[in-house]
């Protein structure tokens, strides 16, 4: 029989994501509803090691559901990859009476949670990253807001690109993952989308495509470039030189990580935060919460970390086809 949990801690780790505050609020309030104490750990694993631990109650999380960022702040803490510090982190949890911990972050943060679980702290991971690159879940906190932010920005670039009859390269975030780029490719109707998982670095193909579009009367050419490929500014210079068409690069950067979370991010983050507390109260540990096939589910952290995820092939195909219908017809693919 698992020992009953008395105090639930919560931390955010890795890159922040809109909706993390909704998840923190859900953890704290669901813990209180279940008769537990709640503690917040500031600055991810770095704050755990420096014991930046605060008591939290219902009021500590008032007025945050609509705000981007994370009130607990976040950090990347390289030390925590070392056993010595993981052990120290577990001891600090015990010292502060934290017998259940909810870690909101990405795959890296889950590895930290797994190490704490191995050292006797009951942990549950909640997927929080704008990148959508966590294999065990079709949803991660922040992706919906980030992709909508990027889509709005790309719409705006498209207006000026059309007025000036330019080619525009817009670089979106996603580290090595092309989900934001792919979704924007479909949502913005881009002519080309460069995905780290697929790009063959054949720039001549891009150049031919741009020239071909111009000959057919296209007034702009939108290229969405994923951060994992990068180098948008130098790419723009080479494309302008090769096509003779004015080309500009816009790197959207950290604006994609901020802003008020969408309804979806608020609701899913709230559900996942509450579910993480329920799992701890049921005596579960070393698990992560996910969303699959229309349901909120949970997996063993080790199994979740061993899973692999790829881009949806059909979405990649339609992204290319719908943004280039004439081109496809012309070339009779």
The set of catalytic residues is 131
Site membership for ligand ADP, residue 299 (CB under 6 A): no
Site membership for ligand F6P, residue 105 (CB under 6 A): no
Give Cβ neighbours of residue 286 (< 8 Å, ≥ 6 apart): 113, 114, 117, 118, 122, 123, 300, 301, 302
- The smaller minimum CB distance to ligand ADP, of residues 109 and 161, is found at 109
Q: State the Cα–Cα distance between residues 90 and 107, nearest whole angstrom.
A: 19
Q: Among 257, 270, 276, 285, which residue sits at the site for ligand F6P (rule: CB under 6 A)?
A: 257
From the list 129-137, 239-247, 286-294, 314-322, the region that binds ligand F6P by CB under 6 A is: 129-137
Site membership for ligand ADP, residue 129 (CB under 6 A): yes
Enter the DSSP assignment of 321. Answer: H
- The smaller minimum CB distance to ligand ADP, of residues 45 and 268, is found at 45
Site membership for ligand F6P, residue 68 (CB under 6 A): no
Phi, psi torsion values for 115, nearest 5 degrees:
-65, -40
- Cβ proximity of 18 and 258 under 8 Å: yes
- The smaller minimum CB distance to ligand F6P, of residues 249 and 274, is found at 249
115's contact among ligand ADP, ligand F6P, none, with CB below 5 to 8 A by partner kind, is ligand ADP
Give Cβ neighbours of residue 132 (< 8 Å, ≥ 6 apart): 139, 140, 143, 174, 177, 179, 180
Site membership for ligand F6P, residue 128 (CB under 6 A): no
Site membership for ligand F6P, residue 309 (CB under 6 A): no
From the list 88-96, 173-181, 182-190, 263-271, the region that binds ligand F6P by CB under 6 A is: 173-181
- Cβ proximity of 162 and 295 under 8 Å: no
- Cβ proximity of 9 and 93 under 8 Å: yes
* Interacting residue ranges for ligand F6P, rule: CB under 6 A: 15, 129-131, 173-175, 227, 257
């Amino acid at each position: 029989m698992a020992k009953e949990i008395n105090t639930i801690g919560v931390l955010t780790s890795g890159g922040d994501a809109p909706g993390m505050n909704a998840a923190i609020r859900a953890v704290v309030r669901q813990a209180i509803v279940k008769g537990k104490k709640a503690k917040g750990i500031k600055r991810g694993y770095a704050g755990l090691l420096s014991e930046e631990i605060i008591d939290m109650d219902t009021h500590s999380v008032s007025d945050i559901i609509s705000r981007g960022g994370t009130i607990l702040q976040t950090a990347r803490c390289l030390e925590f990859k070392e056993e010595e510090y993981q052990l120290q982190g577990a001891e600090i949890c015990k010292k502060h009476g934290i017998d259940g911990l909810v870690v909101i972050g990405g795959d890296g943060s889950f590895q930290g949670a797994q190490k704490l679980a191995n050292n006797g702290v009951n942990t549950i991971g909640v997927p929080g990253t704008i990148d959508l690159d966590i294999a065990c879940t079709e949803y991660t906190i922040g992706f919906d807001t980030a992709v909508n932010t990027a889509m709005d920005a790309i719409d705006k670039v498209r207006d000026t690109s059309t007025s000036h009859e330019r080619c525009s390269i817009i670089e979106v975030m996603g580290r090595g993952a092309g989900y934001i780029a792919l979704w924007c490719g479909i949502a913005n109707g881009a002519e080309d989308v460069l995905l780290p998982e697929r790009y063959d670095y054949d720039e001549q193909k891009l150049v031919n495509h741009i020239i071909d579009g111009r000959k057919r009367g296209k007034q702009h050419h939108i290229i969405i470039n994923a951060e994992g490929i990068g180098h948008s500014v130098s790419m723009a210079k080479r494309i302008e030189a090769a096509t003779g068409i004015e080309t500009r690069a816009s790197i959207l950067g950290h604006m994609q990580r901020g802003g008020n979370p969408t309804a979806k991010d608020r609701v899913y983050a709230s559900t996942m935060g509450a579910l993480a507390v329920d799992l701890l109260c049921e005596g579960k540990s070393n698990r992560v919460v996910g969303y699959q096939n229309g349901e909120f589910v949970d997996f063993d952290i080790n199994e979740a970390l061993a899973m692999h995820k790829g881009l949806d092939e059909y979405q990649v195909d339609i992204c290319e086809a719908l943004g280039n219908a004439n081109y496809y017809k012309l070339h009779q693919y």
